[in-house]
Structure 1
C-alpha cells in the first residue's frame, strides 16, 4: 500500500465505520464493528510507522486540492448552518454571532482568494505525525472499545436518558477520522477543516445526555472554540493577503518570521482555546458532565491534543520571539494555577480535568520557548500524558459505576474492593508524577530547556512550585486508594470484558512506553529535532541505566498489591488507646460509638477554585492581549 493510500485510509476508514455504527441497533453488531474497526485502525497506525521509519519528513503529492477543497468548503458551510440553527433554537446568541463572523471570513476568502491558492503537497508525514497517529489510532481505539461496556451499563442505570448509542459511537469514530486528517494535513485549509470538525464533535459528545447542564456546557465549549476558529480563519486570510498566498504548513515554517509571525500567533491563539488554557479552561472542566469515555477521548487523543499539536508545530516560528515567550508564560501560569486548583477538588473527574489543563500548560510553555530541548520535552509530555490520563479516566469511570460516586473520599479501601482496578490506577498515577515514568522525565527535560532560555529562571520557578502541587494531590489520592479501612467485598466481577481489555492494554502500554523510552527518543524524537532544528536532545548512558533500574523496582509496586506474599491480617486501628470495634468504630465522649473516617486535606482556603481561576483568567487574558499587540508591532518592525 502506497503512503498516500495509507494516510487516506486512516482518514476515511473511521468514517466508514461511523456510518455502519450509526445504522447498527443491536449490541452484538455494534460490538463487532467497534472491535474490528479499532483493531484495524491500530494495526494500520503501527504499519504506517514501520513503513515510514527512518525516512524523515515526507510530502505526499498526487492528491488533488480540487474538488477536495470545494467539498471541504461546502461541508464547512453546512457545519456552520447546523451550529447557527442550534444556536438560534437554544437562544445562544454569542454562538450565533461568532459562527456568522467565522463563516463570513471564510466565505470572503473563498470568493476572493481561494482560486489563486496552490499547495504543492496537501498531506505529509513525519516522526511527530507518526507519534500523534499512534496516540489517536491505539489509545483512541481502546477508548472506543471500553465504551461498549461502559455505555451499556450507563443506559441500564439511567433509563430516563434516551439510548443514542448508535449516534454516540458514530461521532466517536468521526472524531478519530478528523484527528488523523488534522495531523496528516500540510494544507492549512485542510487543517482548518478538520479543526472545525473536532470542534463540532466535541460539542455533540459533551451534550450527549441532553440535560440542561450538558447542553449549557456543550455550548460553552462551542463558543470558546469558535473564538479560536475565527482566529484561524483570520490567519488564513492574512496569509492570502500579505503572505504571497502561502497555505502550506511547510511553506509557512520556511517563510521566516517576517511573514509567519502574525498568522502563527493567530493560529497559536486557536491552539490555546482548544488546549483549554486560561482563560479558556472552563470548557474542559464543564465537559466532565459527558460520559467518561468522552472525557478520556477529549483529554488523551483528540480535542486538546489538537491544540498543543498545532502550537508545537509552529514552535520554530515562536523561538526567540516576544510572542513565543508570552505564549509560554500563558502555558506556565496555567500549569501553576490549574495544579493549585486540583488540590482543592474532591471530585475525581475534576482533579483529572485540572491535571490535564495543567500538563497541557506545561506543553504550551515548552512550545512557546521553541528550542529543540523544549520541543523534545513537549512531545514526550504529549505521549506520556495521553497514556496515563486515558488509563486514569477509564479507571475512574469503571469505579464510579461500581461504587456510585466520583468522590475521592469514597475511594477509601479501593484496593480491597477492586484490587486490579486499584493497581491500574496506581500505575496511572505513578505515570503522572513518579520516577522513572515519562511525565517526570519530561519535566526534568523541561527544566533543562527553561534553564537555557532567556529569563528561563522564571519558568523554572513556576515549574518547581507547580510540580510540588501535583505531587500533593496525586500522592493523597494514591494514599486513599491503597489505604485498607475494612474488609470490603470484592466487586470487580461486575466489570465488563471490554472495559478490562482497554484498561489492561493501557496499563501495559504505560509500563512498556517507559521501558522503551530511550528507543522512542533515539528513533523518533532525535531525527525529528535534527531535521527541524539541526540539534538533538539526548539522555546520557548513566541516566538511561538509572531509569531502567527504577522501572524494574516500580513494577514491583502494582505486583505487590495483586500478589500478596503472606495472608492478609486485619487488625483494629490504634485510636490513641480508645476501644475500637471490628467495623472501624471507636468509643467517643460519654461512650458514644463513632465511625472512624479518613478524609483528605483540600485546603480550599488557599487553593479555592474561584479565587485562583479568577486571578488566572485576568492574568492570562492580559498576556494574550499583550501578545497580539506585541506581535502586530513585531510584524511592523520586522
Structure 2
C-alpha cells in the first residue's frame, strides 16, 4: 500500500541522518569545533540576503535526537494511523514540523529563527486540529493565540536588534552583556521562550494540545515544539546570569513545576497526566537554566526527550487497545494483558522519576545536587524538591491505576501486545531510555562530576522520591478515604486540579475579553467616529455639493430670479447701514 512506503522511506532517511549527525556531533565535541556557514541567497545592487547556519556540538547532537525520535514516531504512526485515509498528509505535516525545528536549531540569526519558530506554530496548529472536532478547534485556537504572544516578542526583538547592524545575535552576547538594549532583547526572548515552553502564565495551552494524535504528542512533548523555548534560552544563557531576568524565570519556572506536579495528581486523563509531567520537566529545565547551568539543562532536555517519547508511545498503544478510552480509572491489570507495553511504560515512568541508572537519573540527580550547593533562597529550594516528590507521586499513582488495580472497562476486551510495528518503535526508545543517560553524561562531561555534600543533603533527593512514591501509592490505594477528603475540600481540589484556573483565565478571560475589546474598538472607531468624520462624512458632503452644483447648472429661471432678489436684498441692507 502507498502509505506504507512513505512511512518506511521517511523513517529510513531520518534515521540515517540522525546517526550521521550524532557521529558528527561526537567529532565536534572531541575536537571542540564549531562551524559558522554564510550562504548568500541573493545579491542585487547593494542589497544581499545572507542565510547563516551555526553547526556546533550542541546543535548537531540535538538535531540527531530530534531526527531519531521523529523517525521512530513516523514508523509508529504507520500502524497507529493506519485507519486514516489521509496518512500521507499526516506524515507530510510531521516532516514539515521536524524541518521547522531543524531550521530553528541551526540558526544563529533571529530572522531565520523566526521562520522556524512560526513554522512550528503554524504546523502545530494544523496537527492539533487534525481530528477536526469542536474540542480540537478550541485547543488549536488556544495553542495558536498563546504562541502568538511569543511570536510578537520575537518580532520586537528583531526590530530592536537593528541597533547593532546585524541579526546574528551570537556575535553580540558576550560584548553587550551589560548593555541596556541587549537586556531588552533578552527579556523579549525570555517572553517568547516562556510562551513556547508553556511557563506560567502561558501554561494552559499545553494540556489542551493533547487533542492532537498521540504520535504528534510524542514528538511535540519530547523534542520539538515545547523544547524550542528552552533551546533558545540555552543560546541566550549569558543574559540570564546575575540579572533580574534569571531571578524572575527561576520563580516562574519553579511555580510551573510545582503547579504541574499538583495538577497531575488530581488528573484522570492518561494523556493529560503525561502532558502535565512534561510541563513539570520544562519547569525544571528552565529553572536550571536560570541559575546558569545551561549544560545541565541541555543534558536533561536530551534525556527527557527519550523517556517522554516512549511514555507517549506506550500511552498511545494503551489508548488504541482500550478503544480510544483515556480514563485511567477504567484501566487496570494492563500488566497481565499487555506485558511488553507495560514493561516499556514502567521503565519510562521510572526514568521520569529518576530511578538510579536509568536515563532520567543522571540528569535529575545532578540538577538536584547542583541546586543543593547553589546560592538560592529557601522557597526555590522547596519548589525543586517538593516538585520532584510530586513527580514520583503521580507516576506511582498512574502505575497503580493502570497496571495493578482491577480493570472495569468492559467484560469482553481485546487487549493484546500484537501491534508489532508500534512495539518495535517502543523497544528502540526503551534501549535509549535505559542507556541514553549514562552515554550522554560520559560524552558531554569529560571529567566525572563529584559533588561533596553533607549526608542529609546528599540523601534528600532519594528521601523525597521514596516519600513521594509512597504517598502516591497510598493515596491511590485508599482512594475512598482520599475521595471523601477531596469532596470535603472540593474548592481546593478543583483549584489544584484545574491548573490554578489558568485555562479559564486564558480562554474566558484573556482571549474572550481581547476579542470583545477588539470588537468594541472596531465598532466605535473603525466603523464609528473615524467613519463619521472620515470617509463617510466626506462622501456625504461631496454628494450634497455635487447636487447643489448640478442644480445651479440646470439654467433654471427660478434660480436666477432668487439669486437676483438675494443680491438686491444684500445691497439694500448694505446701503441702509452705510
What is the match of residue 353 of structure 2?
A: 433
- Give the alignment of 1:174-323 within 5 angstroms: 174-240=96-162, 242=163, 244-257=164-177, 258=179, 259-323=181-245
Q: Which residue of 2 aligns with 1:29?
A: 5
Q: 1:412 to 1:492 in 2, by over 3 A?
A: closer
The SS at the match of 1:608 is: helix
- Matched with 2:82 is 152
Q: Tell me the equivalent position of 2:460.
A: none
Residues 483 and 615 (structure 1 numbering): CA distance in 2 closer, same or farther, change over 3 Å? closer
Structure 1 486/458 Cα, relative in aligned 2: closer, same or farther at 3 Å? closer
Q: Unaligned stretches of 5+ in structure 1?
A: 1-24, 71-114, 156-162, 527-536, 543-595, 621-638
Q: Counterpart of 2:54 in 1: which secondary structure?
A: strand
Partners of 1:365 and 1:125 lie apart in 2 by 26
| Cα contact 1:409–1:600 (8 A) shared by 2 | no
Q: Is the 8 A contact 1:418 1:490 kept in 2?
A: no
Contact 2:196 2:225 in 1 (8 A): yes
**Counterpart contact for 1:327–1:368, Cα < 8 Å:** yes
Q: What's 1:416 paired with?
A: 336
- Alpha-carbon deviations, 1:213-256, whole Å to 9, x = none? 1112111111111110000000010110x3x2241132132232
Describe the shift of the 1:171–1:418 C-alpha distance in structure 2 as closer, same or farther (beyond 3 A): same
Structure 2 counterparts to residues 550-565 of structure 1, below 5 A: none
Q: Is the 8 A contact 2:18 2:63 kept in 1?
A: no
Deviations, residues 355-407 of structure 1 (Å, cap 9, x unaligned): 111110111111122x2xx2233122211211111101111111111122212
Residue 613 of structure 1 is matched in structure 2 by 499
Q: CA deviation at 1:445?
A: 2.8
Deviations, residues 118-173 of structure 1 (Å, cap 9, x unaligned): 97x811122221331122111121111111110014x3xxxxxxx32211110101
Q: CA deviation at 1:304?
A: 0.5
Could you state the TM-score of these two structures normalised by the residue count of structure 2?
A: 0.75
Deviation track 1:476-496 (CA, whole Å, cap 9, x = no partner) reads 212334427489999565643
Q: Which has the higher contact order (CA 8 A, sep 6+)?
A: 1
Partner SS for 1:122? strand
Looking at structure 1, the residues matched to 97 and 60 of structure 2 have their Cα atoms a distance apart, in angstroms, of 18
Q: How far apart, CA to CA, are the structure 2 residues paired with 1:377 and 1:359?
A: 13
Taking the aligned partners of 1:453 and 1:618, their CA distance within structure 2 comes to: 36
597 and 421 in structure 1: CA distance in 2 versus 1, 3 angstrom threshold: farther
Q: Which whole-Å CA distance do the structure 1 matches of 2:305 and 2:480 have between them?
A: 30
Within-5 A mapping of 1:50-199:
50-64=26-40, 66=42, 122-153=52-83, 155=84, 163-199=85-121
* TM-aligned CA deviation for residue 501 of structure 1: 1.5
* Residue 275 to residue 62, structure 1, CA distance change in 2 (3 Å): closer
RMSD: 3.2
Seen in structure 2, the aligned counterparts of structure 1 residues 396 and 609 have a Cα distance that, compared at 3 Å, is farther
| Closer, same or farther: CA 309–316 of 1 in aligned 2, 3 Å | same
Query: 1:310, 1:206 → 2: CA distance?
Result: 23
Per the alignment, residue 548 of structure 2 pairs with: none
TM-score if structure 1 supplies the norm length? 0.68
Count of residue correspondences: 473
- Distance across 2 between alignment mates of 1:287 and 1:320: 34
1:461-476 to 2 correspondences below 5 Å: 461-476=382-397
Structure (1 or 2) with the larger CA radius of gyration: 2
In structure 2, the residue matched to 1:442 is 363
Per-residue CA deviation, residues 30-62 of structure 1 (Å, 9 max, x unaligned), is 233233223333233323324434232513234
